[in-house]
Amino acid sequence: MSKNTLTPRRHLSKSILASCLLSIFTLTGHAQQDTTLYIKHVSFPPNATLEQKVSIAARLVPSPQQLEWQKMELTAFLHFGINTFTGREWGNGTEDPALFNPTELDAEQWVQNLKEAGFKMVLLTAKHHDGFCLWPTQTTQHSVASSPWKNGKGDVVKELRDACSKYDMKLGIYLSPWDRNAECYGDSPRYNQFFIEQLTELLTNYGEVHEVWFDGANGEGPNGKKQIYDWDAFYKTIQRLQPKAVMAIMGDDVRWVGNEKGIGRETEWSATVLTPGIYERSKANNKRLGIYNQATDLGSRNMLDNATELFWYPSEVDVSIRPGWFWHENENEKVKSLKHLTDIYFQSVGYNSVLLLNIPPDKRGLIHEADIARLKEFAAYRQQVFSNNAVLNGQALWKTGNDSTCIYKLKPESKINIVLLQEDITHGQRVEEFEVEALVNGIWQPIGKGTTVGYKRMIRFSDIEATALKISIKSSRLEARINNVAAYYAPAIGEQQTTVSWNNLPRTSWKSLSEQPLVIDLGKTVSLKGFTYAPLNEQAKPTMAYRYNFSTSLDGKNWKRILQHGEFSNIMHNPLPQTVQFEQEETARFIKLEATTPDDKPAIVEMEEIGITLVGHEATCQ
């Protein structure tokens, strides 16, 4: 590999202003001189060496749509639909459209608040898995047109479009491929046609759309309907009708980060070896490389070594401001704290990702006061932090090779605890390892280090007062191009401890009588009004429960079925406690949970994962 030979590092005194060490390049290889850029995708030549692959990887760049998308940084999700009125997370498609009746729907209230809070795009669930359409589609009766809202003359997508135009906000559309209502779902050619018609309506009648979100969820199980999606035709429809839109998740423009908790990767390669799920070869490719959406390493040299192709497929962190994606009355108290949201921000935008934060409108059709208050706090906090950049001249483009440093002078008396770095990704993502030092009382102190930078990388450290920063690029694919170095001070945020109580009867008296199904002797006869399933450590595992029946008994022999064919919707991706309320109070000493996994295998549920709600108590989970 061509190697950048650099001048030895000199001792740098405080007085040196934003001076970068000069790099002397010895160009020995051909790859270094090759300045060809590859847009969005590249196949490695057969027999390419690792050195050649690294050089090519360094020159993979985003498409113009992807670049524009990345720069938004902060986007908002609006989960709204029939579930808002039923209290469910996944509707089953049999819901009566008459349930949909927001009393004060005001899309301007959504957009204005989101705009003020710094969001650049709003993405609406035009259709969730239940199949209910928020616009008066020609494709099905299962839509707002059959609801009492505005006497069936309403159109949520249009109202949102108009509000977006008024407030200069971009619009995105979530259209669930999985449809539990459409009769043709599972009859692949017919449903594909139906889906394309829905897509066409949405992408034709509502002005410019900047992101189309195809969720990958499908809880049909092995005996459910099997739909083979025509991703290629979907993609072509988008390209034809909305050339500026990116296709997300089950698309090849924007990659799901791999969890719904709001946590990105410290090492985040936008140039990744993960083949997007819409390509037929994706299964084989990803299996061969041993990778999947949740894998920690999706782009290191190690990965490149075995890969045959590479995608510019940047990560999007989607997370809800509440435990659930849809609004639920009993979650008004559970809007994430400012501290939590701020951590999410630093672990998404600060980890080379776009944050897609969900703020679900309520039954009135308004963003609830609790969420608005938190959005305002979140925006005010970011404003406070990011309005005062301590670095002088941080935006001068610094082109650098391996093992070189650049010193940036800080404003006098700068107290900082955040450093922000950006790469000029229009030339590719290149930094593999960096270090940051700060000049404190005339002495250089290490304050942080990391691997990838990408579009944006922030590191947090303890408060220091410093006069200069030294950024070292320890390893880079070809020449790195750093186009922004900034430093900020983020005041500490106090966090009130909230106690989550989803079990009202101490487990000390319980006894597990059987594991499959899980049978528990509660130790005494009690009055119950619900139970909770809370996956251990909020972690998903293949053996977790998805479908269930729940029964109670007074003697452990005669059982009463309380709930049949229940579903812990979306538990695999959002493994938070789910509380199920009974229709009436039940007196019982024994409880039985018969549960199956998403693959219809017997689930393994531990006693510690179950809680009960006693009459006279509240469970604080949805």
| Contacting residues toward ligand FUL, per CB under 6 A | 89, 215, 217, 318, 325, 570, 573
Q: In the chain, count of helices (H) and strands (E)?
A: 11, 27
Measured distance CA(463)–CA(491) in Å, rounded: 9
Tokens encoding 426 = 């229009």
With 0-12 CB in 10 A as exposed, 13-18 as middle and 19+ as buried, what is 153? exposed
State whether residue 559 is helix, strand or coil.
Answer: strand
188-204 vs 231-241: helix crossing angle, rounded to 10: 20
Closer to ligand FUL by CB, 77 or 434: give it: 77
How near is the Cβ of 89 to ligand FUL at its closest, in Å? 6
How near is the Cβ of 533 to ligand FUL at its closest, in Å? 17
Tell me which H or E stretch contains 147: none
How near is the Cβ of 367 to ligand FUL at its closest, in Å? 17
Closer to ligand FUL by CB, 261 or 573: give it: 573
Strand 457-476 to strand 431-440: parallel, antiparallel, or no bridges (unpaired)? Answer: antiparallel
How near is the Cβ of 217 to ligand FUL at its closest, in Å? 3
How near is the Cβ of 24 to ligand FUL at its closest, in Å? 50
Closer to ligand FUL by CB, 229 or 325: give it: 325
Measured distance CA(233)–CA(567) in Å, rounded: 32
Cα→Cα distances 306→54, 264, 302, 309, 351, Å: 12, 24, 7, 9, 25
- The amino acid at residue 144 is V
Closer to ligand FUL by CB, 177 or 454: give it: 177
How near is the Cβ of 615 to ligand FUL at its closest, in Å? 31
Other beta carbons within 10 angstroms of residue 107's beta carbon come to: 25
Closer to ligand FUL by CB, 325 or 434: give it: 325
Closer to ligand FUL by CB, 217 or 338: give it: 217
Tokens encoding 331 = 């979650």
- DSSP H helical ranges for 435-532: none
Closer to ligand FUL by CB, 211 or 432: give it: 211
Taking CB atoms, the residue at the shortest distance from ligand FUL is 217
How near is the Cβ of 79 to ligand FUL at its closest, in Å? 6
How near is the Cβ of 250 to ligand FUL at its closest, in Å? 10
Closer to ligand FUL by CB, 89 or 437: give it: 89
How near is the Cβ of 341 to ligand FUL at its closest, in Å? 17
Measured distance CA(569)–CA(443) in Å, rounded: 55
Closer to ligand FUL by CB, 253 or 423: give it: 253
Measured distance CA(67)–CA(210) in Å, rounded: 12
Cα→Cα distances 160→53, 136, 365, Å: 45, 14, 12
Closer to ligand FUL by CB, 182 or 419: give it: 182
Closer to ligand FUL by CB, 194 or 325: give it: 325
- DSSP H helical ranges for 138-241: 156-167, 188-204, 231-241
CB contact set of 284 (below 8 Å; sequence gap of 6+): none
How near is the Cβ of 570 to ligand FUL at its closest, in Å? 4
Cis ω before 517 (30° cut-off from 0): yes
Closer to ligand FUL by CB, 110 or 325: give it: 325
Contact 180, 129 (CB under 8 A): yes
467-488: burial string, b at 16+ Cβ within 10 Å, e else = bbbbbbbbbbbbbbbbbbbbbb
DSSP 286: H
Cα→Cα distances 28→110, 135, 386, 481, Å: 57, 60, 42, 20
How near is the Cβ of 274 to ligand FUL at its closest, in Å? 18
How near is the Cβ of 253 to ligand FUL at its closest, in Å? 17
Closer to ligand FUL by CB, 76 or 473: give it: 76
State whether residue 527 is helix, strand or coil.
Answer: strand
How near is the Cβ of 209 to ligand FUL at its closest, in Å? 18
